[in-house]
Amino acid sequence: MIPIPLSLYIHIPWCVKKCPYCDFNSHQAKGEIPEEQYTQSLISDLEAELPEIWGRSIESIFIGGGTPSLYSANAMDRLLSSMRERLTIRPNTEITMEANPGTFEQERFSAYRETGINRLSIGIQSFNDKHLKALGRIHGADEAQKSTKIAKQAGFDNFNLDIMYGLPEQTIDQAIADLKQAIDANPTHISWYQLTIEENTLFHHSPPVTPNDEILWEMQQQGQKLLADAGYYQYEVSAYAKEGKQCRHNLNYWQFGDYLGIGAGAHGKISMPDGEIKRHTKYRHPEKYMDEGINGKARSSEKKLATEDLDFEFMLNAARLKEGFTKELFEARTLLSFSNVEEKLNTLIEKELIEYDNEKYKPTDKGWHFVNDIVNSFI
């Protein structure tokens, strides 16, 4: 049986400013961040989770937010040292930290590298000042360009750039110009995705004027060709990587692996020895999280996944992968017989949305544009 890998997600919830498109659990920092109190709550939160994952090692760590790069290097070092004391973390474990260009300083990022963080995910979004302003970003084009140079100088040879397209009043040429600048920075990974208007955001209440579907399609087609020609392989809906540089942490999500979630609003999924699969969430508001987390009671909800929902839960993730999945992976992650989904997959093959190739089920070129339809077939 294919073993189920285990990852760790750590959420740092504060930002300098809440962006109008952001629906993540982020909170504008008012004054200094309570690093000491929050770090201790993270440690206590982890300790409360340990009984469910005894004997398992951590395959990857992702520190997200918010803006984790608002955390001082000293606080980050204490946090990661505490994680190592309580978990089995191998020397080659991928440890990613999200960062925004407006928080980059050479000395600080060199110190982050010394803590053991070996991968950055930099929220560029655009290299165009007009579009950065429309997105409510605190950094400008100059800072966006400098951030990649600082990352390299600090010793990061593995980093991702987040780039959006379909921005308010953006032209095709402007979208491609952003992507070209990202490629010129020579990152190992690019997350290139369309701006979407999510509920509970300022953009949802006051929608900006964004490009129509025809323009968005052309942006996507030109951008995907540009990325492929530059050596970036698309392995997920919005993820492009150089050879061997896929984000291991996100791959574990998409392959329905397990993950601990600690921090305000974090989510987790754990497969138990008896075959049960459990999900949990943590209190979203930082103050509530710290009050409860310090006592090891950070969970705001927990539930066992119903057996009849597992095929959908698996497909919700695996259908996003360009390389698809095997019968063995499905059975190992869900503990279900493949017969549960075989008939539906055969129907999708008849509709030319899925193909079976080299013992893997994967979206066709047509299916790649109808991933939601594929997933919804398993509801």
Residue 324 has pLDDT above 80, yes or no: yes
CA distance 281 to 270: 12
Region of residue 244 (left: phi > 0; alpha: psi -120 to 50; beta: else)? left
Residue 164 has pLDDT above 70, yes or no: yes
> What pLDDT was estimated at residue 1?
59
Mean pLDDT of 280-309: 96
> What pLDDT was estimated at residue 205?
85
Cα-Cα-Cα-Cα torsion 96, 98, 101, 102, nearest 10 degrees, comes to -130
- Place 310 in a pLDDT band, splitting at 50, 70 and 90: very high
Question: Do 111 and 161 form a contact (C-beta atoms < 8 A)?
Answer: no
Distance (Å) of CA 149 to CA 71, 119, 232, 377: 21, 14, 20, 45
Mean pLDDT of 254-267: 97
Average pLDDT in the chain? 94
> What pLDDT was estimated at residue 204?
81
List pLDDT tens digits, range 268-288: 999 998 889 999 999 999 999
> What pLDDT was estimated at residue 176?
98
Against a cut of 0.85, is the pTM above it? yes
Mean pLDDT of 291-303: 95
List pLDDT tens digits, range 333-357: 999 999 999 999 999 999 999 999 9
CA distance 291 to 55: 29
Percent of the chain with pLDDT over 90: 83
Residue 326 has pLDDT above 90, yes or no: yes
Mean pLDDT of 104-127: 92
Mean pLDDT of 159-171: 97
Provide the 3-class DSSP secondary structure of residue 61.
Answer: strand
Residues 6+ apart with CB under 8 A from 245: 158, 188, 189
Lowest mean pLDDT among 51-65, 72-86, 97-111, 173-187: 97-111
CA distance 284 to 287: 9
Residue 20 has pLDDT above 90, yes or no: no
